[in-house]
Every structure is written in structure tokens, then in C-alpha cells.
Amino acid sequence: MRGRKPEITALDGALSHVPAPPKWLPPHGKAEWRRVMPRLVGDRKIAAHELGTVEAYCLAVATMRQAEEAVRTHGMTFESDSGPKRRPETTILKENLEAARRLAAELGLTPASRTKNKGGVTGNDEDDALGDI
């Protein structure tokens, strides 16, 4: 994206208190909810209609942890009739790690995503030289 990045400001209609985690979330998901929601609510960066994204993030974290525990317990491979195979949990771990990373960035929970949209102009932007900002 070229030009000036939008500055992230407090969201109109942002939640004013941290809701309880959904009952259906696994324990690691509830723990992640309790870890990230106070920051999102405190910064006024989350509204009620966006809670599904937080739920998806917390579920991805919980699933990732469950898969990691299975890999730690059973190893990364197993013996099949045709030789060693990668455990299915390694794929589940990889997929949910990536999903959690993407959702964390979308929610502004990573250092890069917090600094990416701070506003201002970089010196390398071609539009700056053309006056198109």
C-alpha cells in the first residue's frame, strides 16, 4: 500500500469491559482470551461484532497447544506399514500456528502489526515524490 497509512485510533463502539471467554473454548483458549482481551479492550481496539475474530484466534492457539502436546508426547513420526510417517498432529500444529499468527496480526497483537499502521510517511514511498499522498 502506498501513501500515508491510516493511524489506528480508538474504535467507535469499542467494548468498555472485558467479556468472559466463551464457555465452549478449551482451557488454553480461555487462558489466551484472558491474556489478550484486557489489552484490546483497554486500548479501545475491539467491538462486540469483532469478537468472532478473537474467538478464532484463541481457538487456534488452543488447538496449536493441544497438537504440540501430542507431538511432544508421541513424537513427530510414527511407524506405518510402509515406513516412518509424519504424525498428523504436526500438520495440525503448523496450520493452527499460521492461523494464530495471521489472526494475531489482524488483531494488532504482534509487535509488527502494532507499529505498521502508526501513521507517518516513509522516505522510500514513490507517491511522496509525486505529491499524491
Residue 67 amino acid letter: A
Question: Could you tell me where the beta strands, DSSP code E, fall in the chain?
Answer: 77-80, 83-86
DSSP 77-105: EEEETTEEEE-HHHHHHHHHHHHHHHHHH
Q: By C-alpha distance, which of 71, 58, 63, 73 is closest to 22? A: 58
Burial class (CB in 10 A: 0-12, 13-18, 19+), 50: middle
Percent of the chain with pLDDT over 90: 67
pLDDT of 46-65, one tens digit each? 999 999 999 999 999 999 99
| pLDDT of amino acid 64 | 97
| pLDDT of amino acid 114 | 75
| pLDDT of amino acid 113 | 83
Is pTM beyond 0.85 here?
A: no
CA pair distance 57, 102, nearest whole angstrom: 9
Q: Phi first, then psi: what are they for 80, rounded to 5°?
A: -110, 180
| pLDDT of amino acid 4 | 65
